[in-house]
Chain A
Amino acid sequence: MTDNILEMRSITKTFPGVKALSDVSLSVRRGEVHAICGENGAGKSTLMKVLSGVYPFGSYDGEIHFDGQLSKFSNISDSEHAGIAIIHQELALVPFLSIAENLFLGNERKGRGGLIDWNRANGEASRLLARVGLSENPTTPIGQLGVGKQQLVEIAKALSKDVKLLILDEPTAALNDTDSAHLLGLLRQLQAEGMTSIMISHKLNEIEEIADTTTIIRDGRTIETFAMAGEAVSQDRIIRGMVGRDLDSRFPDRTSNPGEEVLRVEHWTVRHPQQDRLVVDDAGFSVRAGEVIGIAGLMGAGRTELAMSVFGRSYGRYQGGQIFKRGEPIQARSVQEAIKHGIAYATEDRKKYGLNLIDDIKRNISAAALDKLASGGFVNAQEEIRVAEDSKKSMNIKAPTVMSLTGKLSGGNQQKVVLSKWIYSDPDVLILDEPTRGIDVGAKFEIYTIINRLVAAGKAVIVISSELPELLGICDRIYTLAFGRITGEVQVSEATQEGLMSLMTRDRTPVRAGAHSASDATGTGTTSTTTTPDDTQEHSA
């Protein structure tokens, strides 16, 4: 079929001080996967919120025709009734409720007398889960699933509502490659069943892979819409539309010139905060001045847990291990101590751990280094503004002023505020956890440039990322982590995606079996793609 299921015409949406969308039009054909691309703050999420009734009819200008009808949704349930389901950039599941409870939240399966019929609910839940390829028990609490599976539950939830149009706002931002591939497969399968979907993503390879049509939005305007089939549309083509110019390379050049060792962590072992299991198991790594190291690992490998516990033991229960700063053993038992020793950690979850969303940009940027702005306990508010203005400029944060609330920024700009905060604290070692999650290609390049600037100034940077090409593009050395253990250390010149992947998926059993044949590898900077580093040895006995 070639008819359009959706026509959005001349949509204009303004927030106080911001024109988020001006005269945007979007047509989506029935049965296609339609991708929307654009830089951070371009207005993609806003457009989808207009479509799904988050911003009610009347709060924007323009017309929406859905399924042949002029639509005037005044809330989300209106659009759901019409057959539109949206999965927001941030997951909206209740961690303590079961899968089934989450699936039917607000849409409960009632039996006789208005009570919830749990048998029916769980039965239907199982069927929905099967449809998205999950084999979990519907009574499992959501919090016990990984992010990838949670994302699938979100889709199952949408499917339970009899949707015609599925909107996914950066569905794979928090997923690793395997989970992303699975999700894309599912989208294709739904497409075969006749579903139309709109997908927003900054991962252009995925868009190249799955989209039938792509619309590009820049600064709140539609730039172009093109079919992906026919003459091959390259990622560079999309990038050119997004940023308005050619981007020669994805990664800025850097001549790496590591100096002396700044930070070394040995035998780091951390227990889960509630459960009786090790999340980080005898891990060790080191990083030198002017060096970028990467930590690669699958979801749940313990990367964030390792980083956070090194950062003032802010995760789990410390079991053992030692940190050395420039060769000297140091104590970093609290975040304050860690910061004092020049360690900084920029979180992967900016909303939960990174920002005070009800406060403005400038105060968020100064939050980790208020002392630098204060004398005698009094904060110099004018200097604070100047600092924030500087960051806004150098990080290219898109916001009306530095007094704007961070809660109202687009995802990518929020990320830049988090980075600004830690860069302003002027650390020696900067741990960046998924620094480019949800960030557009142009901004990614900017962030890589910033990383380069930091290492050129003699800082040490540790990057945790699920995107292997990114690690390969910006790091000097990469450690792989699996089940809380360091399973390898590779110079980037000798690393390949396949090699890293096989180290990342190495599970416990072979490590144990082969541990005795391990060679020395940790901390020396040599390659160890095939052998196991010695710091796993003690656990083999």
Chain B
Amino acid sequence: MSGTGDLLSKGPATPPTSPHTPKTGTANPLVAMTQNLRTSGIYIAFVLVVALFALLTDGLSLSPGNITNILLQYSYVLVLAIGMVIVIIAGHIDLSVGSVVALTGAVAAKVSISGGHPWWVGILAALGVGLLIGAWQGFWVAFVGIPAFIVTLAGMLLFRGLTYYVLDNVSLSPFPAQYTKVATGFINGIMGGYGYDAFTLLIGVLAVVGYAVSQVRTRVARVRYDQVVDAMPLFILRIVLIAVVVMALAWQLAHSRGLPVVLIILAVLILAYSVVTRSTVFGRQVYAIGGNLAAAQLSGVNVRRVNFWIFVNMGFLAAMAGVIFSSRSNGAQPGAGTSFELDAIAAAFIGGAAVTGGIGTVRGAMVGGLLVGVISNGMQLLGLEQYLQQVIKGLVLLLAVAFDVYNKRRAGGR
């Protein structure tokens, strides 16, 4: 680590920085936060909202059972938000995901319940249908050139209609027991523990270590390339904060029912897609298309192909969400997934994605999704009336984006 180098090289400052003096930002966390309000604003808001509801519910919202609950209840929105933020970065939108959730759930039910096939055949069928749907929408957007808004608006009606057709207008239930494990299963007790699931805690520790190692590696690399890095105290503070949050979460989960299966699925998806968006050629091309379509085209990006795969991917993730949702509700309903697309879109925008495309992160969308989840859950715990819950959710979305716009303007951009 470069911590010692930091201290040793405080000799007479030779302008500009020599390769051994890391260029560091300010060491004052408050100043750093305001400097990076655009990126850290959402996290501050998240912490404040969590604290607010913890206060209002006398700590009930942070109880082990409730935390597990939030994760289970909003997991499918988070899965959708992963795909949605990629769609939005590329400058599109997808209004059909709610209907796709319903249709893929219906297909799984038809196969596993009516068809009597094993649970995994149902899942595979659902995922296959999701990919097909994605290819269909991708075809219209990418190769015919119809705006995604129109294509997916049509898809919203189309796939809802097909859901009614597949289900014959009635609900199907229950799924085989294994199928429901996807969303409601827990890994508990494989390593024992004294009322606290050891495996869950171990995973928590691994997550923290993994995070710290990757942060240190990035930092070392950035210093090597003479880039500005956070001041050391701030850097450590950040890692400690994340560690505390993750371990607290693991502790509470271990205390409750153990590690939810769906959380593992979610974690894998988040990690994988963070890497895809950040460090693959495909991810780069998504940002390039959203940032300046014409420039991307003239730089040799195969825009059609990239757009096509963006929608195929969205179809796949919508099917994932369909499986999780139907598994959780232990059945398929014709009206399932209604307005899920709005939650996913809201998550992406609250998480800092730009309406004009080119900007956004998977991580941001996840925090955005959780923020909506925590707010909804908290309001339910408080027993707020339905209308009030809707009003508040609407205002949160509006304020989040307004805050974002304000920040951009303040930063001096035009």
**Chain A residues close to B by CB (< 8 Å):** 15-16, 55, 311-312, 314, 334-336, 338-339, 345, 347, 352-359, 363, 366-368, 370-371, 374, 377-379, 381-382, 385-386, 389, 401, 403, 407-408, 421
Contact = CB atoms under 8 A, between A and B. Distances in A.
Interface string B5-23: 0000000000000000000
**Which among B275, B297, B300 has the highest number of chain A CB atoms within 10 Å?**
B300
Interface string B224-241: 111110000000000000
Given A16-B412, A358-B358, A377-B280, A368 B299 contact: yes
Contacts of A312: 300
A407 B356 CA distance: 15
**Which among B280, B291, B302, B359 has the highest number of chain A CB atoms within 10 Å?**
B291
B281 A359 contact: no
A255 B318 CA distance: 62
A381 B345 CA distance: 29
A338 B297 CA distance: 12
A421 B275 CA distance: 24
Contacts of A335: 297-300
A424 to B, nearest CB: 11
A353 B221 CA distance: 32
B305 to A, nearest CB: 9
A490 B131 CA distance: 58
Interface residues of B, number: 33
B227 A401 contact: yes
A115 B131 CA distance: 53
B299 A421 contact: yes
A16 B275 CA distance: 29
Contacts of B291: 356-359
A339 B300 contact: yes
B381 to A, nearest CB: 40
A306 to B, nearest CB: 15
A339 B301 CA distance: 10
Given A16-B412, A386-B225, A403-B227, A357 B292 contact: yes
Contacts of A339: 300
B201 interface: no
Contacts of B358: 356, 358-359
A311 B280 CA distance: 26
B287 A359 contact: yes
Given A336-B300, A382-B221, A386-B225, A353 B294 contact: yes
Nearest to B358: A358
B296 interface: yes
A382 B223 CA distance: 11
Contact of A385 (B227, B298, B411): B227
28 contacts: A314-B297, A335-B299, A336-B300, A336-B302, A347-B298, A352-B292, A352-B295, A354-B295, A356-B292, A356-B358, A357-B292, A358-B354, A363-B287, A368-B299, A370-B284, A371-B281, A374-B280, A374-B281, A377-B280, A378-B280, A378-B281, A379-B279, A381-B279, A382-B224, A385-B227, A386-B225, A401-B227, A421-B299
Contact of B298 (A345, A357, A363, A403): A345
The 5 A-B pairs at the shortest CB distance, nearest first, are namely: A356-B291, A368-B299, A339-B300, A367-B299, A356-B292
A345 B299 CA distance: 9
A356 B300 contact: no
A55 B288 CA distance: 29
A77 to B, nearest CB: 16
A374 B224 CA distance: 20
Given A16-B411, A357-B291, A385 B284 contact: no
A476 B129 CA distance: 61
Nearest to B357: A358
A355 B298 contact: no
Contacts of A382: 221, 224-225
Contact of B288 (A353, A367, A374, A386): A367
Nearest to B302: A336
B280 A379 contact: yes
B38 to A, nearest CB: 11
